[in-house]
Amino acid sequence: MSSPEIASLSWGQMKVKGCSTTYKDCKVWPGGSRTWDWRETGTNHSPGVQPADLEEVIKKGVKTLVIGRGMSEALQVPPSTVDYLKKNGIDVLVLQTEKAVEEYNALAAQGVKVGGVFHSTC
């Protein structure tokens, strides 16, 4: 299964190719996507993305994970989260969301088993 292309991104809205849902924040992986609901893990801008936010995507067999920190990079990614991914043998890219979507789409187009978590506002 291939990773779905992110078809569009604007402030507070993301569309994934082949999915009718418009997301505010989303998780994507080979063969699927869904809303990234921060309330599930108690995520906030600080301290930011936690391993619990990423487990679902990692279990889908991704080799690379792209984290979009928001349009103004307000979402933090602690070193412990990056270490967690590396310990699991996963390459990680932490970028401003527009750049993260570009990188994710480029990797997906190359057939890389890539996943992502993207914050589409601040």
- In Å, how far from its chain's centre is CA 30? 12
Residue with tokens 């103004």: 72
The residues pairing with 116 across neighbouring beta strands, listed in sequence order, are 28, 66
Q: pLDDT value at position 64?
A: 98
Q: pLDDT value at position 12?
A: 98
42-60 in b/e form (b: 16+ CB < 10 A) is: ebeeeebbbbebbebbbeb
CATH no. of 6-118: 3.40.1230.10
Kindly tell me the burial class for residue 112, based on how many C-beta atoms sit within 10 Å of its own C-beta (0-12, 13-18, 19 or more).
Answer: middle
Q: pLDDT value at position 119?
A: 98
Using CA atoms, how far apart are residues 6 and 66, in angstroms rounded to an integer?
Answer: 12
The three-state secondary structure class of 54 is: helix
Q: Splitting the chain (122 residues) into consecutive groups of 10 residues, what average pLDDT does each group show?
A: 96 97 98 97 96 97 98 98 97 98 98 98 96
Using CA atoms, how far apart are residues 76 and 70, in angstroms rounded to an integer?
Answer: 9
